[in-house]
């Protein structure tokens, strides 16, 4: 089912809008200056929506400063306290993540809904497999069905108050449960889905989990905004998210260097050459597929598929542009000549 479109600040989410990249700061939100600096780094990396935790009134008081010095929509992550959510909205936040079922009385939910409606602020319901409600756990355990039921119970509370600007996320620490829960949700609700695998960890294992979890849903056309969770500097989350979107064909790759894994046929130190090519690339918004291949047997095929490619023999290499053989030159000079050609393509 196609999701509803809504606006997070000036950024559309859902309803066929391009899938957006989110991240979350790991600074103390009470420190508005450091949080702002981190958001600016995230923006530079390509982050399109950013979340930070608002755990007390001082955090909520940082919002006007952060808002004045940054350029992407801001999301307040709030647990339980509807007054903090209302303070965040009054201070200019663009979206709130809070689970209405955890707020308490219906009166408190109505106060939150009134503030959000007043300023057209969407609310994200965020269900984590690790913190399902007791009655859900008794009935379903930590299962995709349980995660969906939890999300739908929070949705029902907002809908009862006449509020429909809702985004849903259901994250589990296993790929299977995350994927299954979101597949179920995409059939049952019209609200945009925020995808992510929670507590993915760090390094390769985390990247694999997030790529499969988020990537397989996106390939099925499910998901409207994504956050890759990685322990450490959040800027890495943004780069990872961009790679996932590119890999599933939802974004241009930008500059992409493809290289072969090397094998017994390789007669050059291909890893060093690839590194040299990558390090020589200028900052650019252009898209270019560059192939660096280790032999003259299979290499030319891949090199021809690229915008510009090189395939190495033992003493020389051949260079292709847009599938056409351009020249053959000897090693090692051919590497610098190739790099200079790549730079011309990117000008
Ligand atoms: S392109 Fe050539 S060198 Fe590279 S892995 Fe394939 S066969 Fe080996």
- Does residue 14 sit in the same domain as residue 123? yes
Residues 6+ apart with CB under 8 A from 201: 209, 230, 231
What is the model's pLDDT at position 130? 85
CA of residue 286 to ligand 1 center, whole Å? 28
Q: 110 and 224: one domain?
A: yes
**Percent of the residues in the chain that have a pLDDT greater than 90, as a whole number:** 76
The answer to whether the CB of 12 falls within 8 A of the CB of 5 is: yes
Looking at the CA of residue 312, tell me the nearest atom of ligand 1: 3
- Tell me the CA end-to-end span of the chain in Å, nearest whole number: 43
Would the CB of 296 count as within 6 Å of ligand 1? no
Q: To the nearest 10°, the Cα dihedral for 136, 140, 141, 143?
A: -110
Q: 287 with 205, same domain?
A: no
Residue 143 lies in a domain: yes
Residue 259 CA, ligand 1 centroid: distance in Å: 9
Considering the domain boundaries, does residue 273 fall inside one? yes
Atom of ligand 1 nearest to the CA of 266: 3
Q: Which of 217, 247, 277 is the last residue of a domain?
A: 247
Top-confidence residue, 258 or 66: 66
Model confidence pLDDT, tens digit, residues 82-108: 999 999 999 999 999 998 878 888 899
Write down the pLDDT at residue 198: 80
- Model confidence pLDDT, tens digit, residues 176-202: 999 999 999 999 999 999 999 886 677
CA 140 centroid distance within chain = 29
Q: Which among 117, 61, 37 is positioned nearest to 50, based on CA atoms?
A: 37
Q: Cβ(346) to ligand 1 under 6 A? A: no
Pairing between β-strand 6-8 and β-strand 255-259 as defined by DSSP bridges: unpaired
Which residues sit opposite 316 in a β-bridge? 330
Residues 227 and 301 in one domain: no
- CB-based contacts of 52: which residues, under 8 Å, 6+ apart? 24, 25, 27, 29, 35, 39, 59, 66, 74, 75, 76, 77
Residue ranges making up the domain that contains 180: 6-247
Q: Does residue 1 sit within a domain? A: no
- Residue 78 belongs to some domain of the structure: yes
Considering the chain, what is the average pLDDT of its residues?
Answer: 92
Separation CA 242–CA 308 (nearest Å): 22
Q: What spacing in Å lies between the alpha carbon of 255 and ligand 1's midpoint?
A: 22
- Strand, helix or coil at 21? strand
The pLDDT of residue 45: 87
- Please say if the pLDDT value at position 297 is more than 90: no
Read off the pLDDT of each residue in 11-34 and give the average, rounded to a whole number.
Answer: 96
What is the DSSP code (8-state) at residue 223?
-
Looking at 196, 223, 247, which one is the last position of a domain?
247
Kindly state whether residues 228 and 282 are assigned to the same domain. no
**Closest of 103, 68, 69, 67 to residue 85, by C-alpha:** 103
For ligand 1, atom 6: residue with the closest CA = 298
pTM for this prediction: 0.82
Q: What is the pLDDT of residue 58?
A: 97
Where residue 44 sits, what CATH number does that domain have?
Answer: 3.20.20.20
The verdict on 196 and 284 lying in the same domain is: no
Residues 213 and 265 in one domain: no
**Residues 95, 190: one domain?**
yes
The pLDDT tens digits of the residues spanning 111-162 come to: 999 999 999 999 999 999 888 899 999 999 999 999 999 999 999 999 999 9
Task: For residues 155 and 117, state if they share a domain.
Answer: yes
Give the C-alpha separation, 272 to 282, whole Å.
18
Q: Verify that 129 and 265 share a domain, yes or no.
A: no
294 CB less than 6 Å from ligand 1?
yes
Tokens of 97: 């993540």
CB of 313 closer than 6 A to ligand 1?
A: no
Residue 287 belongs to domain with CATH number: 3.30.413.10
Alpha-carbon span 14 to 52, nearest angstrom: 21
- Tens digit of pLDDT for each residue in 241-293? 999 999 999 987 678 888 998 998 899 999 999 999 999 998 777 889 999 99
- Is 62 a member of any domain? yes
Total of domains in the chain: 2
SS3 call for 67? helix
- Within a domain: 140: yes
> What pLDDT does residue 38 have?
96
pLDDT number for residue 284: 78
Going from the C-alpha of 163 to that of each of 116, 149, 173, 234, the distances in angstroms are 9, 19, 30, 32
CA of 339 to the centre of ligand 1 (A): 21
Look at residues 247, 282, 310 and tell me which one is the last residue of a structural domain: 247
Q: Report yes or no: 186 and 227 within 8 Å, Cβ to Cβ.
A: no
Residue 277 lies in a domain: yes
What are the structure tokens assigned to 194, written together? 């925020």
Same domain, 313 and 210: no
What is the per-residue pLDDT for 122?
A: 98
Indicate whether 274 belongs to any domain. Answer: yes
Report CA(293)–ligand 1 centroid distance (Å): 7
| Residue in the block written with tokens 């209302």 | 86
Q: Give the H/E segment covering residue 157.
A: helix 144-160
Q: Are strands 95-97 and 288-293 parallel, antiparallel or unpaired?
A: unpaired
Same domain, 41 and 144: yes
Ligand 1 center–CA 167 separation, angstroms: 46
Q: Ligand 1: does its nearest atom lie under 6 Å from the Cβ of 72?
A: no
């Amino acid at each position: 089912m196609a999701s509803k479109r809504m606006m997070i600040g000036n950024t559309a989410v859902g309803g066929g809008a391009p899938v957006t990249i989110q991240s979350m700061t790991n600074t103390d939100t009470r420190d508005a200056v450091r949080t702002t600096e981190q958001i600016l780094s995230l923006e530079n990396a390509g982050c399109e929506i950013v979340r930070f935790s608002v755990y007390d009134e001082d955090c909520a008081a940082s919002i006007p400063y952060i808002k004045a010095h940054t350029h992407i929509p801001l999301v307040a992550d709030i647990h339980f306290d509807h007054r903090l959510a209302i303070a965040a909205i009054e201070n200019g936040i663009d979206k709130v993540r809070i689970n209405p079922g955890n707020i308490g009385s219906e009166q408190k939910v109505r106060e939150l809904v009134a503030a959000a409606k007043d300023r057209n602020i969407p609310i994200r319901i965020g269900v984590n497999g690790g913190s399902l409600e007791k009655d859900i756990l008794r009935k379903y355990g930590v299962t995709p069905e349980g995660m969906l039921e939890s999300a739908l119970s929070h949705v029902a509370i907002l809908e009862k108050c006449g509020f429909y600007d809702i985004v849903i996320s259901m994250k589990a620490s296993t790929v299977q449960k995350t994927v299954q829960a979101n597949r179920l949700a995409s059939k049952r609700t019209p609200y945009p889905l925020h995808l992510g695998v929670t507590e993915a960890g760090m390094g390769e294992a985390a990247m694999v989990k997030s790529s499969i979890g988020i990537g397989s849903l996106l390939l099925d056309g499910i998901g409207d905004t994504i956050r890759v969770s990685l322990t450490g500097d959040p800027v890495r989350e943004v780069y990872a998210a961009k790679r996932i979107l590119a890999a599933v064909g939802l974004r241009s790759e930008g500059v992409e260097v493809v290289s072969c894994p090397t094998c017994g046929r390789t007669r050059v130190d291909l890893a060093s050459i690839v590194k040299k090519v990558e390090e020589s690339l200028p900052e650019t918004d252009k898209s270019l597929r560059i192939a660096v291949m280790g032999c003259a047997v299979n290499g030319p095929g891949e090199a021809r598929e690229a915008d510009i490619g090189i395939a190495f023999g033992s003493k020389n290499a051949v260079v292709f542009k847009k599938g056409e053989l351009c020249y053959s030159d000897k090693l090692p000079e051919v590497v610098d000549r190739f790099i200079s050609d790549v730079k011309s393509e990117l000008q």
